[in-house]
Structure 1
Amino acid sequence: MDENVNNFFFEKNTVNDISTEEIHQLNNYLQVIEAFSRVSYMSFYIIDYQNKNFEYVSDNPLFLCGHTAAEVKEMGYDFYFKYVKKEDLDLLLKINKLGFDFYEKIPVAERKQYTISYDFHLLNQDKAILINHKLTPLFLTKSGKIWKALCIVSISNNTESGNIKIFKNGTSEFWSYDTRENFWKNERKIKLTDREVDVLRYYAQGYTINEIADKIFVSPDTIKFHRRKLFDKMQVSNISEALSYVTNNKLL
């Protein structure tokens, strides 16, 4: 295996022996993954930490950088060394270690409830595209190590690499990593009012400001007021970024 690829793997995220009982977890799960890929607009892949490669790569071109899904699967982690610029590759290596250090402190019974999210640039046809990765465990070993993980790839709604966050499913809390001070901050998701939810849902359906105002029986200026409050609350500058934010943070 290429020495560069080994940089992604260390004692905490390397799986060695898999028992028969652990293998029984699989039960043709790839058929479900393939079905999901046919109906999703996002790109995704599965990491196998035992074999240190990609077990599955979807056909969505966002992640492929001009290659076929089969070619990217064959490249495995070498893909990153070819299509991620140096500074972001260093960031990925750092995130890899940070995530597993955090993960090791989570009770084993809760480990499947966590997802890590981060942004970096892919070099696609000489253009640097900022993408978001969300990675969550699929299967664990008896000792609680991640055996296989699912990674969802989408266009980032941020402007710079990083934005490292860990979310716990079913709760409003999350952790963001301060890359300057090098520590995790425990935070809570923003709360949307019922009116803000209404405004966002109608925007997502393609309605204009005047049409939304008619739908919820208020003036267009009131819609503009709610929109400004949403932008301030999410720290975004337009409605597209706001919709990306609520989608990524499961607020709608």
Structure 2
Amino acid sequence: MLADGSTSHALGQLASGFLAEGQSRAAILDFILGQLPRWRDRPDRPLRTSETMLTSQLCAHLNSAARKTPGWDCLQFRVEEADETHVSRKIDLVAAAAGDALIVQGRSYSDFETILPIECKRLPIPVGSGRDEREYVVTRVGVGGGIQRYKEGKHGAAHVRAALIAYVQEQSFDHWLALISGWIHDLHTSGTPGWSVADALVTHGQDPTAGIAVHESVHSRNSLPSIHLRHLWVKMTL
């Protein structure tokens, strides 16, 4: 359970064919949050460090967990899914219906459609040519930042709720929150178009024993409704 405004695990809220009105995507995110430490701590999980491999592993675990958990077998997860609006761009991880159409807050989703887009990032960002230490937020060249992609509508333009998962491989949650807050503040004070103090992350809670933390943020977008992001962080070593 998360302290300081903890996120409740919503097992049993999902019924075959329907997600609970007003809580559907939040319930999916609660389910993912509860599975993050279970995935990390599985004794049979091969130790990997790359974002691609970690996300592939997580996807496999989430599919197994959904299939075996009553009320969640209506859901599946997929990696490297094409964005609905910008089809040449790939979303790291998506939640979708499994088999039959799924009603989410009054709308029917087939298994070909994305219910919830999720970006995944390592913290720290690997050092390399073309990489930017601020990549969780923004990149100096192009639109490669996790928050930036959502904010500029390059990812998730068809959605008003999405998520970012951080695989925290070094340092503490507080360390990364301070850095990310500083990067967003610098974007604002330097006059970078579109960025403001309103883009800052707000801590929702953390569980040091399980090694998970949750933050929330809301971002305005040009010609699109604002997007609400939930940030799910998992400490890869306890």
Q: Between Structure 1 and Structure 2, which shows a larger proportion of helix residues?
A: 1
* Fold match (TM-score > 0.5): no
Q: What TM-score comes out, normalization by structure 2 length?
A: 0.26
Higher RCO structure, 1 or 2 (CA under 8 Å, sep 6+)? 2
